[in-house]
Amino acid sequence: MDAGERLRELEGQLERSRAEHDDVRRKAEELSAETARLRGDMVKAARAAQESEDLLSELETQLEELGKREISRSDALERRSRQMVGVLTALQRLAWRPTEALIAQPQSPADTVRSAILLRAAVPQIEQSARELKVEIDGVAKLRTEIGDQRRLIATTTTTLEREHVRIKDMFERKFQVQNATEQERRALEARLQDLGGQAEDLRDLLSRLDQERERRLAEAAGKAAVEKVAREAEATARRIAREAELAAQKAARDAELAAQKAASQAAAEARTREEEAGKAAQQAASQARAREEAAARAAQEVEMRAQAEAKEKQLAAEKAAHQAEQASREAAATRPVKNDTPFSQARGRLPYPARGRVVETYGQPNDVGHVAKGITIATRKAAQVIAPYDGHVAFAGPFRGYGLLLIIEHSEGYHTLLAGMAQIDCAVGQKLLTGEPVGVMGQDDSKPNLYVELRRNGQPVNPLPWLMAQKSKASG
């Protein structure tokens, strides 16, 4: 082969190498875009997990209050029932005595008339007590229904929170797989090219080896694409099967709930029937000589009781609407994260809390041994999600004396965030973080998990509370 042919062959080989280089560059860009998408999904999943944690804490508090109200009203109902039993027993004994027997009793006519007057006055009060007792019974039944609804909502929210944690874990694994695959492929390509350059003895041998390497890469790419296609199809099938199973379980749960509601309705209908029969018997045994003014007074009392019940229901509805409005406001605020290009000094009052919970120790507060706190302490739920409050790079991640596991995030303008108290850190030194990206979780076995948060500027601690976004939980200390 003369020099011209060798030159043309070399130029052709160079063109093919440039095309392969473009393919590798496009593939790297696609992997970079996939990594960015995964990080955005991780931020959304962490926010959803923290919102579920807030909802669980609030539902548990409401359930505890409902339990206390049920115990109080049940005790009052028991006392009223005992009082009614004693009064009805006495009236029943009086009713068994005929009117003629009162004349033959060894007592004065004045005493006999006084007994009749007392009996006549006691009957309206007993009827009023019976109506109040019915209101108490209905209130206890309603409380028990609300407690059951709260427990079911807590179970549903707990399941949602567990699914969010599983999603975050899967996205972590996928992110590392994408990064490792990209790095391994790059290193392998460089090693093969260096090996080819070292083994080639002349230009023809080098060109031949480059052709073989290109064919091998194409074959590997085709095989890898086929494997990924099969994996995607298997994953789609698994998701479809899981979805069908979940729909079947939801249908079974709905059927069971409808059956329970039907049984409860039947029991309530039977109870109402028995109650109506007892009321009729009581009306037949009562005196027929009640005056029209007493009936008007009873009607007025019933109207007042219904008005009080309706006012209470409206108050509960207003409190519920206020709570929903406050929740919507918090969600709207959570969906407006700090822009990535905003300087840290301009993010004051807009940073999200690293974890959801109650602030139990504030900046500058002395502890039991007299040391002044340089940050704040947040009491969280078990296994609570921890996020980055602002964009930055991981400067330190690992155990540190007196802190346990310590995470230091470096921001712009000399600001650093220190997070301590986590049971697990999910990021590495040098890693770039986005606002809201998950960085770790609190302990599952710790009875009272606390997250320590410290903000520093040029090495000096500053109060982090004015920098954080307002939340429902109030500081206590």
Provide the pLDDT for residue 390.
Answer: 95
* CA dist., res. 93 & res. 475, Å (int): 63
Per-residue pLDDT at 87: 65
Phi-psi category of residue 341: left, alpha or beta, with phi > 0 → left and psi -120 to 50 → alpha: alpha
- Give the three-class secondary structure for 373: coil
pLDDT band at residue 293 under the 50/70/90 scheme? confident
Rounded distance between C-alpha atoms, residue 279 and residue 405, angstroms: 69
Mean pLDDT of the chain: 76
User: CB count, 10 Å around CB of 61?
Assistant: 10
* pLDDT category of residue 474 using cuts at 50, 70 and 90: very low
What three-state secondary structure class fits 268?
helix
State residue 401 phi and psi, 5-degree precision. Answer: -55, 130
Average pLDDT, integer, range 430-459: 91
352 contacts 389 by C-beta, under 8 angstroms: yes
pLDDT reading at 278 higher than 60: yes
Between CA 226 and CA 260 the distance in angstroms is 51
Those residues whose C-beta lies under 8 Å from the C-beta of residue 120, and which sit 6 or more positions away, are 287, 289
131 contacts 306 by C-beta, under 8 angstroms = no
pLDDT for 473 equals 45
pLDDT confidence of residue 199: 47
Give me the residue label for tokens 């069971």.
256
Contact 435, 340 (CB under 8 A): yes
Kindly state the average pLDDT of the residues 242-261: 80
Say how far residue 361 (Cα) sits from the centre of its chain.
24
Q: What is the mean pLDDT of residues 301-329?
A: 76
Q: What pLDDT is attached to residue 86?
A: 67
Average pLDDT score over residue span 224-233: 80
User: Residue 10: pLDDT above 80?
Assistant: no
pLDDT of residue 338: 45
pTM of the model as a whole = 0.51
pLDDT tens track for 20-45: 766 766 776 777 777 777 778 888 88
Handedness of CA 249, 251, 254, 260 (dihedral sign): negative
Ranking 33-37, 94-98, 200-204 by mean pLDDT, the lowest is 200-204
Q: Quick check: 393 and 439 in contact, CB under 8 A?
A: no
Burial-class residue 50 by CB neighbours within 10 Å (0-12, 13-18, 19+).
Answer: buried
pLDDT class of 200 with cuts at 50, 70, 90: very low
* For range 132-158, the mean pLDDT: 74
| DSSP secondary structure, 287-301, as one string | -S---HHHHHHHHHH
- Please say if the pLDDT value at position 337 is more than 50: no
In this prediction, residue 409 has a pLDDT band, given cuts at 50, 70 and 90, of very high
